[in-house]
Amino acid sequence: MKFLKKPLGFLFGQSKAGNSVQVQSLNLFSEYLDRDVILDIYLPPGFQNRKKNGYPFVLFNDGQDLWRMNPVITGILENLYTHKKIPPILAIGVHASQQRMREYGTASQADYKGRGDKAGVYESFIKEELHPYLNRQLPISDSSEDAAIAGFSLGGLSAFDIGWSNPELFGKIGVFSGALWWRSSAVRPEDPDADRIMHEIVRQTKTISQKQRFWFQCGTLDETEDRNNNGIIDSIDDTKDLIKCLIDKGVKTGSIRYLEIENGHHDPITWGHVIPDFLEWSFNNGE
C-alpha cells in the first residue's frame, strides 16, 4: 500500500487512426430508475467491435464530471495510450441525475437524514441493466479482474459499496475524495467516529474476495471539518479508517493504494490530476 442522444448503431465501427479517443454518447432507459441514463463511452484507438478477448473496462459514477477535468478525460486517455501506460480499455461515464443524493449512497440503508434511499435501486441498475447491456453491445472482458468501478465524492461511496458487494463483477474499485462519512446517526460528541455506514458494512462482511484491489485518493484541502479534533480533516480520517477496516478483514496491503494530494481540492481539477495513477494502477499489466 502506497500512501502517497445517439442511436445504438452509432457505437459501432472502428476508431480513427493514431491515438485519438472516440466518444459515443447515448441514453439508456432504466426500468429500475424509471428514467434515461446518459452514458459516455470512450473508445480506445484502434477499437474493434469484435475483439476476441474483450476490453478491460471501467465505470465512472458522476460521468458528467469527466468533462470538467483539465485536461478532460479524452486528453488524459490519449496521453496514457501515447506513452503506453495502459492497454486499450473502455471507459464508461455514467451521468448522475437530479436525484443523485437519493441514488448514490449505500444500498443496504439510507443515511440518518434519509439520503441514499434509492441506492439499492441504483445498484440493481448497474448489476441487472447496465452491466448486461454493455456485455451485449460492447466487447468487454468477462473477467472481473479486468473490470473496475469508480466515482467521485458521493459517487465514490456508491462505487465502493457496489464494488464491495459484487466482487464477481468488479475486481477493482476507485474512490476519489469519497463521502465515507455517510452515517446512520448524527455525530455524537462522545464518539464522533462511530456510525459510519460503509465502515460497518466492511466489518460485518463475512467472506471477502482476495482478488479485489482498492484505490483511494484524498486531497489535504478536500474540506476543513475535523469532528474528532485530531488535526486531520474528516475525509482523510474516514478514508484511512476504511483502509484499516479492509486490512483487518484480511485484504493484503499490496492490494490497496492510497494517494494523499498536498493542496488537493474536492473538485474535478484535482481528480483529473490523479486519474492517470488510478488507471495505470488498475490496468497496466505489463503490455
The tens digit of pLDDT for each residue in 122-131 reads: 999 999 999 9
**Which stretches of 16-56 are assigned E, i.e. beta strand?**
22-30, 35-43
What is the phi-psi region of residue 62: left when phi exceeds 0, alpha when psi lies from -120 to 50, beta otherwise? left
- Alpha-carbon distance of 129 to 122, in angstroms, equals 10
Phi, then psi, of 284 in degrees rounded to 5: -75, 105
Delimit the domains of the chain by residue range.
Answer: 8-283
Question: Order of strands, edge to edge, in the sheet holding 213-221?
Answer: 22-30, 35-43, 90-94, 57-61, 147-152, 172-176, 213-221, 256-265
Element holding 176 (H helix, E strand): strand 172-176
Instruction: Calculate helix-pair angle for 197-204, 234-248, nearest 10 degrees.
Output: 0
Does domain 8-283 fall into CATH 3.40.50.1820?
yes
Give the pLDDT band (50/70/90) at residue 285: low
- Alpha-carbon distance of 270 to 65, in angstroms, equals 12
How are beta strands 256-265 and 213-221 bridged, if at all? parallel
Is residue 1 scored above 90 in pLDDT? no
Q: What pLDDT score was predicted for residue 53?
A: 87
The tens digit of pLDDT for each residue in 35-74 reads: 999 999 999 999 988 888 899 999 999 999 999 998 899 9
Most distant CA atoms of the chain, gap in Å: 61
